[in-house]
Structure 1
Amino acid sequence: MKKVAIIVQTKEGQLSDSSKSLLSYVSSFSPETILLLAIGDVKFSSVPSSKSVDVITLSDGLWTDSSSIEPLTKILEGFTVFGIKSIQVDNLLSLLAASSTQEMISGIQQFTYSGGKYVINKSIFSGKASLSLTTESAAFFSLNRNFDFSNTPDYAEQFIGSISTVNAAIGSHASIIALKPITGAIPLPDAALVVGAGRGLKDPSNWTIVEDLAKALGAATACSKPVSDLNWRPHHEHVGQTGVKISPNLYIACGISGAIQHLAGVNGSRIIVVINNDPEAPFFKHADYGIVGDVNDILPRLTKKLQSH
């Protein structure tokens, strides 16, 4: 693995924590060349790495098909490319893989590299099972958001070598109709902690107890499909088979029965805590921890406990 490119995301111009972890992790393989592909504004002047790092910022052009991706494909010839799973990252990796002769592997839970071979453990069937495989042909890797970086060595910060911009090629077959930015402190696909709720809250006015708990934890909020269908919460918070798929370190499900469609969106979570007043709720069978009780009583008590520490 001589040449490595990493798709990183930024927040207010700085590398996100998950991007820093990925950079340090990939640096531990001692590649000769490290290239960052930055999504978002770049204001940082140094990165946690043992080597000099060059940065390419991706323009706001449309990275939607083989023609739009062509300039980036040429630059990345001979590179192994890593990213942490998100809609944006997986879309970019899949386009790059489709434009090359090498495969993309997503949903990676564990990853080792030795002797030119990649040994991978990945989630399959919406997180219901895992698959172990060895490959030499893959060059594009999407790591689950709850990938374990705990044993990654720390690296002293080094100044980056250069910053440049790559624009999407003219002639893309897609166009932007409207941009509707998602508001909120923590984007749901990027969150390490998520508090989700369903119709067990009984009324949309009760949602403040979910937001209070999420704020105390530093977590993002999510909801089940029935809740978004009722317009209690915006659609971008809908987690499930037809919504956002998440893989946080902790997912707290409040008043959600655990229909298979919802489970398909949260099975990648490292730890699942279920709070429900129905002891027969199917979600308890998939939970690491369960609390039987009324969410309208338990959530405020949990929040108060967290705020007192």
Structure 2
Amino acid sequence: MAAKAFASSADLTDKEQTLEVLADGVYALTAEGDPNVGAIEGEDFLVCFEALATPVAAREWLAKLREHTDKPIRYLVLSHYHAVRVLGASAFGAEVIVAHDNTRALVAERGRQDWESEYGRMPRLFKDPDSIPGLTWPTLTFSDRLTIPLGGDRGDLVLKYCGRGHTEGDIVAWLPERGILFAGDLVEAQAALYTGDAFHRDWAAGTLDTLAAFGAEALVGGRGAVARGRDGVDAAIAQTRHFLEVMIREVGTVQASGGTLKEAFQRTHAALYERYGKWPIFEHCLPFDVARLWDELNGVERPVIWTAERDREVWAQLQD
């Protein structure tokens, strides 16, 4: 049997992008399981949410957005620090780049290693990698909540830290008057979770509870389709929670019985595959997910830094 291709290195087929207008001046770009991005119009400016992996990839998104609005970009909001979300930031020309305090610290601590890791895992997303000028640094950070008045009768955009989850610095963007939530990778709709830098128990409990309490009528997750209606939003949050709870149960069971990391991976894969195995990036993510959860349940509080070398070592260790 041929060896399984590393992560998403063999995924070279472009995905169809769909720009959706969720409400007047509220946009989301989805791409069949590739990272989602969005934008919100203020009275005379734009707020963009997420930056994609390279300036070239970001400019393709902005060209689609410019078919709907020519307002200047004042704010670029980064939900967290991962390279495929942030390294395209220079294309936006934003006056202000916003992130959580912890995200800025993570860029300083492990941004370079994460860049090299994600480029190796997902080369297709890095369109013209030479166009990246360097690490993306936020120019405005906050710890709990930041409100951006949109002007006129557009209300406010509320940026909120809901607790540790996908990383220790994830934020969401909430439009209370529209009932629309940009959740970043704290929620995935019909796409598998990446949890290699996660705090699984916090995420599955308090963080998702806080997120559900918004009562959103539409939710843009990190990947996958836009969740619409309360039932759709609740289902996306429930799917995310279920994925995490199954992982915690299966990895914890193997640890308690004195088993190995590879046994934990095999058991978790078997438990999740029927429901999630055909969803985007499931096979890519799960080895890294289980490795991080194994550490977490062993008392390793903060995620070990992923490097290109460590990626390959863990992948080789857990494949058949």
What TM-score does the superposition give when structure 2 sets the normalisation length?
0.27
Bigger-Rg structure (1/2): 1
Please identify which structure carries the higher helix content. Answer: 2
Please identify which structure carries the higher strand content. Answer: 1
What TM-score does the superposition give when structure 1 sets the normalisation length?
0.28
